[in-house]
Chains A and B, each alone.
Chain A
Amino acid sequence: DAKTTQPPSMDCAEGRAANLPCNHSTISGNEYVYWYRQIHSQGPQYIIHGLKNNETNEMASLIITEDRKSSTLILPHATLRDTAVYYCIVRVAGGTSYGKLTFGQGTILTVHP
């Protein structure tokens, strides 16, 4: 699976959009981009994933560049409860096909009042 690069930390004001970048320049055509977050003392929480089209759900939006070498997770209106470590992971095509979720160091997002 391709490696990802994320900034170690970011800050965001409450109510503002949080834009978390991720570089995955060696991504293969059959690899999806997944985002998880881990709030302190909890297990990782799935946020969103995508292949090449932009995706949106009730939690966030995922913007993938046309060349698929980078992506941005957008939390449209960050709250204090969004303070967490955010992990960007690339994995071979979804479903039941085997592909490990390999966690890097992630981005520590701190949302402040």
Chain B
Amino acid sequence: SAVISQKPSRDICQRGTSLTIQCQVDSQVTMMFWYRQQPGQSLTLIATANQGSEATYESGFVIDKFPISRPNLTFSTLTVSNMSPEDSSIYLCSGREETQYFGPGTRLLVL
């Protein structure tokens, strides 16, 4: 099974600023994803991170707000831009080869 780590594990940020979350997988995976989990809610897919091309965003999520990079088969970043308190959530990275695995999440609080 793949082991996925995320940095930072948590952060408190001021509104209007941006935060970049890093995701590292211990093995090469074909597909990587980013999810958001708002307080008390289930997971919502933000986008699929594609290596060497632009990410594929789900309805309601846009590149200007959540730019994503994926420079290789083991690493991806998600930036939450121009944050507002509504962005306070857990952000989870996920990687899939045969089976899909998840990182521990990044807990973001925006004041």
Contacts and interface: CB of A to CB of B under 8 A. Distances in A.
Interface of A: 42-46, 49, 87, 94-96, 98, 100-106
A23 to B, nearest CB: 17
Interface of A is mostly: loop
Interface of B: 1, 4, 30-31, 33, 35, 42-45, 48, 92, 94, 96-105
Given A95-B98, A103-B43, A106-B42, A43 B104 contact: yes
Nearest to B101: A46
A46 B103 CA distance: 11
Contacts of A87: 42
A94 B33 CA distance: 16
Contacts of B31: 96, 98
B35 to A, nearest CB: 8
Contact of B43 (A44, A94, A98): A44
Contacts of A96: 30-31, 96-98
Contact of A43 (B1, B44, B96, B103): B103
Contacts of A98: 31, 48
B58 to A, nearest CB: 8
A43, A44, A102 interface centre (most CB from chain B within 10 Å): A43
